Structure 1
Amino acid sequence: MTNRNLHPYCYLCILILGVSAQAWAGPEEDGSYWHTLRLQGTLPAQNLYWNMDFNPRYRNEGKHIDYLYYRPAIFYKPNPKTSLWLGHDTIIGHPAGKSAYHENRWWEQFQYQFDPIASITFTNRTRVEEREREGFHDVGYRLREMIKSSTPLKNHSKLSFVVSNELFINVDKTDWGARRGFDQNRFFVGLNWKITERCNLETGYLNQFVNKATHHLENHIINTTLGFKF
């Protein structure tokens, strides 16, 4: 059987089956809401762009703020398929029963969009983070690898079905609690609505599995991103 005989959704099924297995029994579970406002525009230099994300995250079925992210970045696109990014995260964490804390991250990213296969577009994103926690000395290095696919829905040209999976690996151990090895996995399935040429809305279900030192956490998240291009 050749590739052209496969229905496009078969590729999405293959992607889903390739998600990392959650081997630990009985994780602690929670419902969450993550909201992202994404702004993006051009810079005076050729092929250079800016990006800004505002991202509040709520835990306990949306009752309490968990994290607040500010994420400015610049990126260079040598061609339509490839982009190189440099960004910084300012994160305010609000853990239950503890004082709020600040984390700062510099990160570098390579992103590549492959040629479509049977109307499905695949995008690969590789990110390296350097994480610093307020009040501690160690720098934590983390690798993030994501594959994302999207395919337009028949008879709905502005709607696309989206599936992605992102794996997080800690490179080192830190004095603020990061442990070397598998950190977490995020699996997303949802829809992207191209409202206009400069505005899109993506929303769906995100499963976050976190490998904590004392227990494992599984978050069931409604994840929504509203993006504007200028």
Structure 2
Amino acid sequence: MRNRLHCKSLLAHLLAVCICLSLSAPALATKDNDGFWAIFSTTDALPSSDDNGRWLYWFDAQARYFDLGTGVNIYLVRPGLGYKLNDNVSAWAGYARLRSRNQSGAVIDEDRYWQQLSWTAGRWNDGTLSMRTRLEQRSVSSGDDTRVVLRFLAKYVRPIGTDGKRYLSIGVEPFLDLNDTDWGGKSGPGQNRTSIGVGWRVSEKLSIEASYMNQLIWVDGGEDRVNHLGTLNFKVKL
């Protein structure tokens, strides 16, 4: 029991340190942008009568505006299938399709295959600390190479008030590019996302979460970028 409490405390402190580092890092960046992400997401157990609901589904769709007033910069759809290994751990695999448009109007399509391990680290200070490790293989229409990206998300969710409908959400997600590609970028740290927001459980089937995200992107041979993003996520159980 003591070891479990020590592990939870260590993970919580690690999350706090990562957030502080990510918020201080943008001071070194040279280019800031505003933006907004609209997100629809759904994940739940697949209907079944003989496996105790171990098979899971995942789907999210996003519209990302990085330059406000210029239209949608990125569309994303991402389905996935998962299997619950136990009450706290699940394994996933899926595919994502992106279409992006840069400031010059050029359109680039991107395919991503992804594998993921998600787990609940435990409860801490009346909230829940969860982790997610995702490996992605990315290919784009403007290049021949496949980029491999490792992502790690730590997220803390804590109820606000006594009705159980509102909650605070804090997350940090660093990205590590594992190889060089012919379409830009070298191996090493790619970006870091830090978010803080509030959510409202409207019903058993719907939650709405509004957040601020600080997205720090390291650019090889150019100006690093910081995107200050508002996000609105509609989380649905079908």
TM-score (norm 2): 0.86
The number of aligned residues is 225
> Take 1:60 and 1:129, find their aligned partners in 2: how far apart are those partners?
26
AA partner of residue 38 (structure 2): H
Match of 1:174 in 2: 181
Farther off after superposition, 99-108 or 38-47: 38-47
> Take 2:28 and 2:42, find their aligned partners in 1: how far apart are those partners?
40
Q: 1:119 to 1:97 in 2, by over 3 A?
A: same
Structure 2 residue 168 is matched with structure 1 residue 165:
no
> Take 1:208 and 1:23, find their aligned partners in 2: how far apart are those partners?
9
Q: 1:26 to 1:128 in 2, by over 3 A?
A: closer
Match of 2:234 in 1: 226
Structure 2, gaps ≥5 residues long: none
After superposition, where does 1:85-96 map in structure 2 within 5 Å? 85-96=92-103
Match of 2:119 in 1: 112
Percent identity among equivalent residues?
Answer: 24
> Take 2:139 and 2:88, find their aligned partners in 1: how far apart are those partners?
32
> Take 1:195 and 1:170, find their aligned partners in 2: how far apart are those partners?
38
Q: 1:201 to 1:229 in 2, by over 3 A?
A: same
Secondary structure of the corresponding residue to residue 35 of structure 1: strand
Structure 2 residue 74 is matched with structure 1 residue 67:
yes
Q: 1:191 to 1:39 in 2, by over 3 A?
A: same
TM-score (norm 1): 0.89
User: What is the aligned-residue RMSD (CA, Å)?
Assistant: 2.4
After superposition, where does 1:151-162 map in structure 2 within 5 Å? 151-162=158-169
AA partner of residue 185 (structure 2): A
**What's the CA shift for 1:44?**
5.0
> Take 2:157 and 2:227, find their aligned partners in 1: how far apart are those partners?
23
Q: Does the CA contact (< 8 Å) of 1:33 and 1:62 recur in 2?
A: no
Match of 1:29 in 2: 32
Secondary structure of the corresponding residue to residue 63 of structure 1: coil
Structure 2 residue 209 is matched with structure 1 residue 202:
yes
Name the structure where helix makes up a greater proportion of residues.
Answer: 2
Q: 1:65 to 1:30 in 2, by over 3 A?
A: same
Q: 1:23 to 1:33 in 2, by over 3 A?
A: closer
Q: Does the CA contact (< 8 Å) of 1:20 and 1:185 recur in 2?
A: no
